[in-house]
Amino acid sequence: MKAWHLTDTTGPDSLELADVPEPQPGSGEVRIRLTSSGLNHLDLWVSRGLPKPSTLPHILGADGAGVVDAVGSGVSGFEIGDEIVIDPSMSCGKCSFCRNDEIVYCDDFKILGEHLNGTLTESVVIPTINAVRKPQAMSWDVAGSFGLVTVTALRMLERAGIAAGQRVLIVGVGGGVSAAALGLANGLGADVYVTSRSQMKIDLAVEQGAKGGFLSDSEFGKEMAALGGANIVIENVGPATFRQSSKAAIPGGKILVCGGTSGSKVELSLPFLFFKQLEIIGSSMGTHSQFARATDYVGRGKAKAFVDRTFDFSDVPEAMAYLDSGQQFGKVVISRS
């Protein structure tokens, strides 16, 4: 079968299409013949060695969906032909965190495509706990791409205790997690506001249900505060926006952080933090039950998943370049149809 091999960590230009042996499922595993995959900024970071894969060549890709075409020993409840969405969160399955569905705290937590070979290939083997049945109404483009960003956004919103009628500010809308947070927060009844460096992306977000938006390089904290402030701020940009995000939050508001695309360090005014009694919550990925909820929300249309553009499997380097350009609003999909 074919797979896109990352042969170095000098960026997406290190990808090469290669012939690889087809994987065989072991005990408790199923093999998925992939129909679609989704790209994430994680793929760009890993291609640049952030983090560097433990071995090269490496196969990128966290998200994917397809059809079961082989079943390992000891598997029950899955048959050849089942349509599957892949949950990309892997763990030991044995520790107390795993037993209590808190896999994100497992010492052996891994992400498909980052720590393990991923979905930029034709077939992938996964444990059955990572195989989630595709809702019938869900398109293959959505099924293969919504997972990682939507479960990440859902965990952030759930940890913030989102409720209908709250104001949610999403910083840097257009990227995968931010677009997923828009779709989820809208579906959960919040009043959503967004920021972006692109007025076009702000306008798109408003068309998709946001109440309004602000340019990211403006004093958007003051603008949001003038509207009453945000109960919840979704932050994945970092130093370029964090000060404004803090200003945007109401007293007692929550700032959820899942990334730092503009850098890894921010300067924090401690008096500002404690006088406003803000909560800053770090969050990443999600649990198996959260992935199941995310799949259900998107499958039922309670939350919208945004697909920006679809590329053929043979055009993965072009798709990576497009993602790297930052033009997208939502997910970039790799199709094998």
Cβ contact 230:253 at 8 Å: yes
- Going from the C-alpha of 108 to that of each of 25, 47, 91, 95, 153, the distances in angstroms are 21, 22, 5, 9, 22
Give every CB contact of residue 139 below 8 A, 6+ residues apart in sequence. none
How many C-beta atoms surround the C-beta of residue 327 within 10 A? 14
The pTM of the whole model exceeds 0.85: yes
Alpha carbon 332 to its chain centroid, in Å, reads 12
Integer Cα distance of 313 and 58 in angstroms: 17
User: Which pLDDT score is estimated for 254?
Assistant: 98
Residue 189 in this model has a pLDDT that exceeds 90: yes
Mean pLDDT score of the chain, rounded to an integer? 97
Quote the CA–CA distance of 66 and 133 in Å, as a whole number: 10
What mean pLDDT do residues 195-221 have?
A: 97
Over 90: is that where the pLDDT of 160 sits?
yes
Work out the number of other CB atoms within 10 angstroms of the CB of residue 289. 12
Q: Is 326 left (phi over 0), alpha (psi -120 to 50) or beta?
A: left
| 141-53-127 Cα angle (round to 5) | 55
Query: Percentage of the chain surpassing pLDDT 90?
Result: 99
Per residue in 61-96, pLDDT (tens digit) is: 999 999 999 999 999 999 999 999 999 999 999 999
- pLDDT tens for residues 301-323? 999 999 999 999 999 999 999 99
The helix (H) or strand (E) run that includes residue 59 is none
pLDDT digits (tens, 9 = 90+) for 220-231: 999 999 999 999
What are the residues whose beta carbons fall under 8 Å from the beta carbon of 141, sequence distance 6 or more?
A: 36, 307, 310, 333, 335
pLDDT at 300 over 80: yes
Encode pLDDT of 251-285 as tens digits: 999 999 999 989 999 999 999 999 999 999 999 99
Q: What confidence category does residue 286 fall into, taking pLDDT thresholds of 50, 70 and 90? A: very high
Please report which confidence band the pLDDT of residue 337 belongs to, taking 50, 70 and 90 as the band edges. Answer: confident
